[in-house]
Every structure is written in C-alpha cells, then in structure tokens.
Amino acid sequence: MRRFTCAILLFGMGVGCAPSSVPAPPVAAPGQSAAQSEVVPSSGPSKLTTRHLPNAVQIHPRVISGGLPQGDDGFQELADLGVRTVISVDGAQPDVQLAAKHGLRYVHLPHGYDGIPEQRAKELAKAVRDLEGTIYIHCHHGKHRSPAAASVACVTAGLIPASGAVSILNLAGTSPNYRGLYQSAAQAHPLDAALLDELQVEYRETVEVAQLAQAMVALEHTHDHLERISEAGWKSSLDHPDLEPAHEALLLREHFTELLRTPEARRQADEFRQYVQDSEAAARELEDQLRAWQAAEKGATPPEVLWRLADRISTNCKACHQKYRDTPLGEKS
C-alpha cells in the first residue's frame, strides 16, 4: 500500500525499554530543586516502549521527549510514568483540561523548526531544572522540535553533557533537513546555575501564536487524517471511521486558502505563495478525484492520480520548508 507522505508542519514562528524502567522523580532536599538533588548520572538516552505517547525518548531520568499524548489514555500513561509537568513546544493550543484531569500541569513554550532562540532555551532549561516531577516535552509527532528542545534544555540546565545533544536528535529520528534544530543542539552549552536562578519566567498554560503558525497547525492535523485515509486505500480508516476522504481533502484545500489570506503569507516572497497556491490547486483536484472515484462502481481500485496529487503537495511542502522554514535562525535575512 502506498503512503501519503505529505509533511505539512508548522512554518516556524513533528530497541526500547519498558515504561516501568523509568526512574521515579528525584526528591529535592530543602533549598534544592529536584534536578539539583539528582546525583545518579543518566545511563544515556533511550527509546521508550509506550502505547499512547508517539516517539517517546528518555533524555534524562526526569525528562522525556515525545509526541502529542493521544487523548485520555496518553495523559494517563504520562501520569503512570511519574510525569507531573507537560511542556508543549508545538504551536497548537494545549489541552489543559484533559491534562488537569490526570493531575498534570501544562506549560506552553512553542518554537519553530528554524532553531531554538536563546531566550527560549533558557526558559526550557529553567523549566526542566525547577518544575515539578518528571517533565514530558512534546511537539506534534515527537520527532523534530521536542527532542531538540529537550536536548537543548537538558544541556543548558547541566543535566546532560553537551556532547550528547546531537545524538538525541539522531535517536529520535529528527530529519537532517531541520538544520536549525541540529544547529541549536550542537551549539547548546551549560548555563551557570546563578544565571538560571536570576531568570524570571512566567510559565503559562497557553500562549498565542502567530496567525500563520495557527494555519499551519490546522494543515498538519488534516494531513494526519489524510495519511490515515491513504494508508487505508483512500477509504475511511478503521481507527477513524468518521473521516470521510473527500471531505478531508476539501478541508486541506480550505486550509491552504486560509493560509494565503493571512497577512504573514502575503508578506512572504512570491515563490512561497506559488508553492501554497499550487498545493491548494492540487488539494482541490484531489477532492474532485476522490468524489469521482467514490461515485464509480463500488470496489473499484483507487486511481493512481490520488497518489500523484499527494506527491505533488508533498514536493511543494518539502521545497517550501527547506527554503522558508528550516533555515537556521542565524541565516535568516
């Protein structure tokens, strides 16, 4: 079965051990943070075997990186792992209520694919050092932004050696196309504890993100739906029978249309808008082809054009991302 591989992600501003092997959160002595009281060195990053936490990686005894928790079961699994604080580096608004149901605190510290700004790195470092319990840092898929954020945070806070930061991204499967994320990990260095002590941060459950980033979040979620559909032969998937293929293609097209209407998109280069416009047209044709195929004789083989259109969108996305989103922060004009 061919797979819809379009990678529609945020523009910028994602052999295991069993979960039972995760160490309990360290107990802080008076006047110390939990991280400062940790004296047992980490045995190194390792993938975790989890059911509802995509791409989970244990970075440090009190820091786990991964993808968006999958509903109620995902947050329960976090609680079972000893997690007490969840940090989202994704642009989407965190599900604060669902986390609270399981006794978890949410902190929203979003960043893009172009790298982790210095101030954000300090905020993440102070969070993993001082906030309660085991920390779970997530983006959407858990492969790109969250392992970068977790590695940079742990290095900056002095929890892991700087030499191990890039290997965490490799372990998590971070694409080398995200040069800014690798650059942030490679350049991370420990910050003096006194400087983190002086840093004043208001850790908020949710923060507003740019309109362009919000549009990209919507695109990403619809892409996930279409990927499930394509894997099921361009039919409603068994795990999501509520997803109607042509309707999801329609939503994808509408998301591209809304993206083009944002002031941020209008300020981009003509080439950027051309990528989006061509993807919008491809999504429109994908919807038309799906409806025509669905109206044909029941049981007909999905036409090859469905995958060609998906590949066209994927090519546009990758080319646009590499030029306008994945450029490291220091290289932006």
Q: Give mean pLDDT, residues 49-69.
A: 97
Q: Where are the domains of the chain?
A: 19-198, 211-331
**Which residues, other chains included, contact 247 with Cβ-Cβ below 8 Å and sequence gap of 6+?**
none
Q: Spelled out in words, what is the top-level CATH class assigned to the domain 19-198?
A: alpha beta
Contacts 24+ apart (CB under 8 A), 95-100: 96/205, 96/206, 98/71, 98/72, 99/75
- Is beta strand 105-108 parallel, antiparallel or unpaired with respect to 83-88? parallel
Greatest mean pLDDT range, 18-32, 106-120, 124-138, 202-216: 124-138
Architecture, CATH, for domain 211-331: Up-down Bundle (1.20)
Which residues, listed in sequence order, are joined to residue 88 by a DSSP beta bridge?
108, 138
Q: What pLDDT does 92 receive?
A: 80
Q: Give the pLDDT band of residue 94 (cuts 50, 70, 90).
A: very high
Q: Give the pLDDT band of residue 111 (cuts 50, 70, 90).
A: confident
Q: Give the pLDDT band of residue 222 (cuts 50, 70, 90).
A: confident
Q: What pLDDT does 15 receive?
A: 28
Average of per-residue pLDDT values in the chain: 83
Cβ–Cβ < 8 Å for 19, 48: yes
Q: Is 232 exposed, middle or buried (0-12, 13-18, 19+ CB in 10 A)?
A: middle
Asked if residue 37 has pLDDT above 50, the reply is no
| Residue pLDDT, tens place only, 235-275 | 887 777 888 898 888 878 878 887 887 778 888 899 999 99
Greatest mean pLDDT range, 39-53, 189-203, 219-233, 296-310: 189-203
Asked if residue 134 has pLDDT above 70, the reply is yes
Rounded to whole angstroms, the Cα distance separating 286 from 305 reads 8
Asked if residue 312 has pLDDT above 50, the reply is yes
Q: Give me the residue label for tokens 């792992």.
A: 81
Q: Phi and psi for 83 in degrees, rounded to 5?
A: -70, 140
Of all residues in the chain, the percent with pLDDT exceeding 90 is 53
Asked if residue 200 has pLDDT above 50, the reply is yes
Q: What pLDDT does 264 receive?
A: 82
Q: What pLDDT does 242 receive?
A: 81
Asked if residue 14 has pLDDT above 50, the reply is no
Asked if residue 19 has pLDDT above 60, the reply is no
| Residue pLDDT, tens place only, 75-89 | 999 999 999 999 999
Q: Is 47 helix (H, G, I), strand (E, B) or coil?
A: strand
